[in-house]
Chains A and B, each alone.
Chain A
């Protein structure tokens, strides 16, 4: 077996795993704090990519300003989403939240088809066709940048959750909403922030991946279902668990795709999820305590 072949598979797997983690962490955070499964999460990823495309290709904004603007817009959109829709669902039943976010997903997806058409678009940047080579190994620059942004986002989220008062408040609300209220934490403000960060991460993922993958209205669909499997494998509501499960899945998919028929890759996330549910229903890193 060629060592460079295995190293290339490992490298590809880590990059795609961090990309999965960017989407999955936001989904996990929202579930952890609000106990809402956001089926529209993939659509915010798609909208982030669409906005990044238009900012760079039409408004001629640079790559880094685009990343900042898209993330800021997504954070704002998260606040609006909470205030307009999710805030009213607090404690109102799981089924309603599923119907609401699923409906929102359909509206956003078909709205994007209407406005942007389904023609796939390719976002071009100065580094779109550049690679970093090390011997036989090659990684496109844009993937490396997405990897860097993913790691940065994970680091920042970790610091917010475990090193700040607001993070402590978020973990408090996730563990016991009523108890958090009794010690003076405003669950509504904390929930709003969690949704804003979650949607912001999704928008960031869209902007970071717009130069890597074709941008089109259906691009969020496949990613979000994989993200659901990842957060179940990692332990529902456990952000760090979701990130580790995402990278693990990315590497596993890369090796399976490298040695076996590619169609097996698509089944991998869900067979792993079923196996985890059978063997360890709380997920790999679930301890009954979320976020």
Chain B
């Protein structure tokens, strides 16, 4: 009898302990992310992931949100819209994610947008820059997509304002990759020039993965434009910049030139002096928030952040802030909270969404002088 009582008591204690354990270990708030972890722009995907993970780690170190830990589940989309659709469809079917994050490539983000709208789950765009994402969001139709980084259109408008001030916007040739990213760059530049009664001198596109740029560079050199706007990333950018150098250049570059990825030898030679580039970010921006971010990022990964690391870091903070203010992990409540975001940015502005669910952060205007990258200034997008 005594033995039986002892067994019942132990079972009761165990049951109580177990129920207490379950209560304390409430499931994490899960965010789904679809970014390129393999393929041609995997390096950008890796940096995007590192930026988002840093923001999540910082939030979790402070106790998480709503008393729960945050977690981000990364799936690979190879920068391919079909892969993006596959990965996000799978995540949405599981019904355990409170929001979808990024896409990185514009084509991938555009493919994800109808899926999140049908599922009724917020989609926070951190890196994809195509202007059409914002055009189709908010009053444009898709109430669930929020774009934290500036559009190509708004960044190029800021750049052309700067170039026009110096009388350099008269003759700009465009060369970009034949993707939504490159096409958005071309149309953004055309729109910015049109506002000032100017036209693009010439425009040309190349397939992603193009190794040889010598024919098009020979053509551009013969056309002698005042500036060449270059829209290329990753291996394409490396090939283009090296071949441009070996062909003697002769036309200053502009557009979204990835100044932090120019080979050291080319940069230090002064060959690119006179380049004027617009970027959503540069690690040298001198604000307390950015200094802390660069230091924390370097400590973790031994490399400085690049623009996608910053964008993902700040966009994740926007999403975390919305979850906190929503007071619940309900997707509709998070969407409503996102719409009323007012969060200070590391670039000195306040992140707020307009009626197209687009935030208007500062764009950084960079130049190269004496083989060194200098921040010319910041311009609101």
Asked whether, in the complex, the Cβ of A262 is within 8 Å of the Cβ of B42, the reply is no
Residue of B with least CB distance to A209: B211
**Which residue of B207, B212, B265 is within 8 Å of A124 (Cβ)?**
B265
Give the contacts of A261-279 with B (CB-CB under 8 A). 261-263, 265-266
In Å, the complex CA distance between A223 and B235 comes to 15
Asked whether, in the complex, the Cβ of A119 is within 8 Å of the Cβ of B43, the reply is yes
Judged by a CB distance under 8 angstroms, whether B215 is at the interface is yes
Given contacts A12-B215, A118-B42, A129-B269, contact A262 B206 (CB under 8 A): yes
Give the contacts of B175-196 with A (CB-CB under 8 A). 175, 178
**Which residue of B212, B234, B248 is within 8 Å of A120 (Cβ)?**
B234
- Expressed in whole angstroms, the minimum distance between the Cβ of B240 and any Cβ of chain A is 9
**Which residue of B43, B178, B211, B215 is within 8 Å of A257 (Cβ)?**
B215
**Could you mark each residue 28-42 of chain B with 1 if its beta carbon is under 8 Å from any beta carbon of chain A, else 0?**
000000000011111
Judged by a CB distance under 8 angstroms, whether A214 is at the interface is yes
Q: Among A1-9, A183-191, A230-238, which stretch is in contact with chain B?
A: A1-9
In Å, the complex CA distance between A168 and B161 comes to 69
Residue of B with least CB distance to A142: B246
Residue of B with least CB distance to A222: B209
Judged by a CB distance under 8 angstroms, whether A113 is at the interface is yes
Asked whether, in the complex, the Cβ of A218 is within 8 Å of the Cβ of B211, the reply is no
Judged by a CB distance under 8 angstroms, whether B292 is at the interface is no
Give the contacts of B209-266 with A (CB-CB under 8 A). 209-212, 214-216, 218-219, 222, 234-235, 238-239, 242-243, 245-248, 263, 265-266
Asked whether, in the complex, the Cβ of B238 is within 8 Å of the Cβ of A122, the reply is yes
Asked whether, in the complex, the Cβ of B238 is within 8 Å of the Cβ of A259, the reply is no
Asked whether, in the complex, the Cβ of B42 is within 8 Å of the Cβ of A258, the reply is no
Given contacts A122-B242, A129-B265, contact A265 B235 (CB under 8 A): no
**Could you mark each residue 1-32 of chain A with 1 if its beta carbon is under 8 Å from any beta carbon of chain B, else 0?**
01001001100110110000000000000000
Judged by a CB distance under 8 angstroms, whether A163 is at the interface is no
**Which residue of A9, A122, A253 is within 8 Å of B218 (Cβ)?**
A9
Asked whether, in the complex, the Cβ of B246 is within 8 Å of the Cβ of A140, the reply is yes
Asked whether, in the complex, the Cβ of B211 is within 8 Å of the Cβ of A223, the reply is yes
- Expressed in whole angstroms, the minimum distance between the Cβ of B77 and any Cβ of chain A is 14
In Å, the complex CA distance between A222 and B238 comes to 16
Judged by a CB distance under 8 angstroms, whether A213 is at the interface is yes
- Expressed in whole angstroms, the minimum distance between the Cβ of A230 and any Cβ of chain B is 15
In Å, the complex CA distance between A255 and B247 comes to 17
Asked whether, in the complex, the Cβ of B205 is within 8 Å of the Cβ of A261, the reply is yes
Asked whether, in the complex, the Cβ of B246 is within 8 Å of the Cβ of A262, the reply is no
Judged by a CB distance under 8 angstroms, whether B73 is at the interface is no
Judged by a CB distance under 8 angstroms, whether A51 is at the interface is no
- A-side interface size class: 35 or more
Judged by a CB distance under 8 angstroms, whether B295 is at the interface is no
- Expressed in whole angstroms, the minimum distance between the Cβ of A96 and any Cβ of chain B is 28
Asked whether, in the complex, the Cβ of A258 is within 8 Å of the Cβ of B219, the reply is yes
In Å, the complex CA distance between A129 and B267 comes to 12
Cβ contacts under 8 Å, A259 to chain B: 219
Given contacts A5-B222, A118-B40, A263-B178, contact A254 B209 (CB under 8 A): no
Given contacts A16-B212, A218-B209, contact A138 B247 (CB under 8 A): yes
Asked whether, in the complex, the Cβ of B218 is within 8 Å of the Cβ of A262, the reply is no
In Å, the complex CA distance between A258 and B217 comes to 8
Given contacts A113-B42, A213-B211, contact A129 B238 (CB under 8 A): no
Judged by a CB distance under 8 angstroms, whether A219 is at the interface is yes
Residue of B with least CB distance to A118: B42
Asked whether, in the complex, the Cβ of A257 is within 8 Å of the Cβ of B246, the reply is no
Asked whether, in the complex, the Cβ of A9 is within 8 Å of the Cβ of B215, the reply is yes
Asked whether, in the complex, the Cβ of B205 is within 8 Å of the Cβ of A262, the reply is yes
Asked whether, in the complex, the Cβ of A265 is within 8 Å of the Cβ of B205, the reply is no
Judged by a CB distance under 8 angstroms, whether A128 is at the interface is yes
**Which residue of B39, B175, B205, B207 is within 8 Å of A218 (Cβ)?**
B39
Asked whether, in the complex, the Cβ of B248 is within 8 Å of the Cβ of A131, the reply is yes
In Å, the complex CA distance between A110 and B78 comes to 13
Judged by a CB distance under 8 angstroms, whether B204 is at the interface is yes
Give the contacts of A101-142 with B (CB-CB under 8 A). 110, 113, 117-120, 122, 124, 128-129, 131, 138, 140
- Expressed in whole angstroms, the minimum distance between the Cβ of B179 and any Cβ of chain A is 12
Asked whether, in the complex, the Cβ of A138 is within 8 Å of the Cβ of B178, the reply is no
Asked whether, in the complex, the Cβ of A129 is within 8 Å of the Cβ of B266, the reply is yes
Q: Which 7 A-B pairs have the closest CB atoms?
A: A257-B215, A118-B42, A140-B246, A120-B235, A214-B238, A12-B214, A214-B235
30 contacts between A and B (CB under 8 A): A5-B218, A5-B222, A8-B218, A9-B215, A12-B212, A12-B215, A113-B38, A118-B39, A118-B41, A118-B42, A119-B43, A120-B234, A120-B238, A128-B265, A138-B247, A214-B238, A214-B239, A216-B40, A221-B209, A222-B211, A223-B211, A253-B215, A254-B214, A254-B218, A255-B215, A257-B215, A258-B218, A258-B219, A261-B205, A263-B205
Spell out B's residues near A (CB within 8 Å): 38-43, 46, 175, 178, 204-207, 209-212, 214-216, 218-219, 222, 234-235, 238-239, 242-243, 245-248, 263, 265-266, 269
